[in-house]
Structure 1
Amino acid sequence: MTQSTETTSATIWLSKGAFEKLTAELEYLKGPRRQEVLAEITAARDEGDLKENGGYHAAREEQGKLEGQIQQLEALLQKADSTVPEDDNIVSVGKLVTFKFEGDDDDEAETRLIASIEMKDYAGGIEISSAASPVGEALIGAGVGDAVTYEGPRGPLKVEILKIEVFTA
């Protein structure tokens, strides 16, 4: 695990909770789940002729999928950074940013987590913006009360930052 809240192409920021859940999932896949699949292969192999043994081929396919999942999780966790960002009211990776678009009322404010897409299942339904996305790139380094402009699909958009919080889930 790296020790910086700066996310580069080599690192992926994950909350501590997400990191722990993914680590537990990897342990399950490498342990009990892998043993289950191997038992399925053995049982199907014991049925005889492997050429026409659908159960055997299905179990081998499941084994391939499982090994692919394991490799993906291992690669993700090797690149993971779960350092809690500093609570300094400056937008950075790992923070929730509440902002409103120019001309909108405060009750139309949006909150987004600045993080990589790998956090989508662990963000509690909060929309995620990557630090490399146009809005994420514009927000990084800004503070509460700052107005930033970024290029949207239909032209420039200006947002005002209302609140910044460290994401802890």
Structure 2
Amino acid sequence: MHDDLTAQDIEMMQKELDHRKLELMPELIEEVKRTRAFGDLSENFEYKAAKQAQNRNRSRIRYLERMIKSAHVIEDKAGADEVGLFDKVELLFEDDDDTDTIQVVTTVRCDPLNGRISCKAPLGKAVLGKKVGDRVDVTTEEGDSYTVVIKSITKEKDDGSGPIL
């Protein structure tokens, strides 16, 4: 299995991976050594915290390595008048006559609370490739559905904002 990621996603992951391996890991190793010298390990909170930080870092390194290794590089092929990756889309939700603006992003950059919707999520999938004025039916994973109307599309580039999850 692979994740569809942009070249920018992979570059950001590689930078984080390099930082974690070359800078953070040596610091964490030294912190474990330093706190180990405090004495009885069964009651040494600082040592336990240092080991936990080291284990979290190793886990993140493994995750990043797997993501980079299995990534499928994608590019935005949407037309100038179509919703594509990283575009901001103003939507009218017909059910409650409410408008909202979302940005369609890759799976590792999504942040629904801040309007960054994954291109694999039902809403992101539904609006990709659509144009202003299109009525789009969105079916959730639970089987519920709703309709949105695309009010506007603001073409955006992948500026590297938004952390990698």
Letter in 1 for 2:147: L
The residue that corresponds to 1:168 in the other structure is 158
The residue that corresponds to 1:13 in the other structure is 5
The residue that corresponds to 2:147 in the other structure is 157
Which string of whole-angstrom CA distances, capped at 9 and with x for unpartnered residues, describes residues 73-98 of structure 1?
Answer: 22333344565413513334443323
Provide the C-alpha distance between the structure 1 equivalents of 2:52 and 2:150, rounded to a whole number of angstroms: 51
The residue that corresponds to 1:6 in the other structure is none
**Preserved contact between residue 100 and residue 110 of structure 1 (Cα < 8 Å):** yes
Q: SS in structure 1 opposite 2:23?
A: helix
**Preserved contact between residue 131 and residue 150 of structure 2 (Cα < 8 Å):** no
Provide the C-alpha distance between the structure 2 equivalents of 1:43 and 1:103, rounded to a whole number of angstroms: 59
Provide the C-alpha distance between the structure 1 equivalents of 2:126 and 2:89, rounded to a whole number of angstroms: 12
Provide the C-alpha distance between the structure 1 equivalents of 2:28 and 2:134, rounded to a whole number of angstroms: 54
Provide the C-alpha distance between the structure 2 equivalents of 1:79 and 1:39, rounded to a whole number of angstroms: 32
Letter in 2 for 1:118: V
Scaled by the length of structure 2, what TM-score is found?
0.68
Alpha-carbon distance, 1:38 to partner: 0.9
Provide the C-alpha distance between the structure 2 equivalents of 1:15 and 1:111, rounded to a whole number of angstroms: 25
Are 1:29 and 2:20 matched, yes or no?
yes
Scaled by the length of structure 1, what TM-score is found?
0.67
Structure with bigger RCO (C-alpha 8 Å, 6+ apart): 1
* Long gaps (5+) in structure 1: 1-8
Alpha-carbon distance, 1:36 to partner: 0.9
Aligned CA-pair RMSD: 3.5
Are 1:139 and 2:127 matched, yes or no?
yes
- Between the two proteins, the alignment pairs up a number of residues equal to 156
Which string of whole-angstrom CA distances, capped at 9 and with x for unpartnered residues, describes residues 44-79 of structure 1?
Answer: 344555455444333222211111121122233334
How many percent of aligned residue pairs carry the same amino acid?
24
Provide the C-alpha distance between the structure 2 equivalents of 1:126 and 1:69, rounded to a whole number of angstroms: 23
* Long gaps (5+) in structure 2: 160-165
Provide the C-alpha distance between the structure 2 equivalents of 1:109 and 1:51, rounded to a whole number of angstroms: 55
